[in-house]
Amino acid sequence: MESSVTGGEDSGGNISLSVKFSGRTIPITNLSPDSTIKDLKSLLQPLTNVLPRGQKLICKGKLLVDGMTLKESEVANGSRIMLMASQGLHQGDGPILKQAPTRPISRANNANTLGKEKTEVSVDKNRLDRWKATGVIGLRDYNLRAIPDEVWACGASARVIELSNNAIPVVPAKIGCLSSLQKLFLSANDILDNSINWEALVSLKLLTVLSLDQNHLTTLPPAFGLLTSLRQFHVANNKLSSLPNEIGLLTKLEVLKVNNNRISTMPTCIGDCIGLIEIDVSSNLLSELPETFGNLHNLKRERERERERERERERESFLCFDMEL
């Protein structure tokens, strides 16, 4: 079998192969026969946005092992390899870019759709009374330039506030007066690092869901770790380069969505977030995840269920791949 591998090398002794992934074929050229499978996975990461630990490479029906070389794995010149990617935790939506996408939704178009740009909303007494009675304030897609005063008038009655897809630039200190607030949705606005009053925000001891997707955030302050009741945190499609070490204080956190940022390393204290069930770090600049991910046992149980679903998809993919060969 070894002679067939040697005979398959090109005239320069190197190997060229193709990798089939997600309906397309990726050519890889000029590999040394002594390159390891781990080396190949590292080459594939920027082309597929799948971290090496999330890749399963299959050649001739055999799963390739990281520590073995191409020659030892009987991968010859012209070989065709299938890449199976783990779902959710490692796989993203596209190649990792230095300029990570941050604002895919254009609210200017939404304003045109509305016909007339609205910078404030008319709140009559009946509507205000309804907000106070239900505790739910819905102001999505109003193209607001500021949070209306009537929201603050709800005080401790407010439990859920939906302010997504507006043009709000500031989260003021008044947010602290909403002492019963449990869920705050501020996705797709114009919020910058210094425009959130974090001192007031972290005073909301009942806050369990915070969504800041699609804004202009580049950093999160240490005070973020004081939101100890938080169960879901969504901050995808921003410009974050890192997460604060204080995130480890969020032991009740169950869902963390930080995809489509510019994060290059994850803090080791992420392993202290023992309540995590779901995490999405895709489309960042990560090359590896910290070993403390092994502490996230709830995440492992969720992934066991996902693995069973993956096995079903793999069996179907094997059949399709064999038919193509």
Q: Give the pLDDT mean for 87-94.
A: 43
Q: Would you say 93 and 282 are in contact if contact means Cβ atoms under 8 Å apart?
A: yes
pLDDT one-digit tens code per residue, 243-266: 999 999 999 999 999 999 999 999
Residue 293, pLDDT score: 84
Secondary structure (H, E, C), 271-316 = HHCCCCCEEECCCCCCCCCCHHHHHCHHHHHHHHHHHHHHHHHHHH
pLDDT greater than 80 at residue 92: no
96-105, 226-235, 281-290: range with lowest mean pLDDT: 96-105
Q: Would you say 269 and 291 are in contact if contact means Cβ atoms under 8 Å apart?
A: no
Q: How far apart are CA 228 and CA 16, in angstroms?
A: 52
* pTM (predicted TM-score): 0.63
Q: Would you say 209 and 183 are in contact if contact means Cβ atoms under 8 Å apart?
A: yes
Show the tokens assigned to 301: 């149980």
Spell out the domains of the chain, with CATH numbers in brackets: 15-85 (3.10.20.90), 126-311 (3.80.10.10)
Residue 89, pLDDT score: 42
Beta-bridged to residue 56, according to DSSP, are: 84
Q: How do 24-31 and 232-234 pair as beta strands?
A: unpaired
Q: Which of 143, 185, 137, 198 is nearest to 167 (CA)?
A: 143
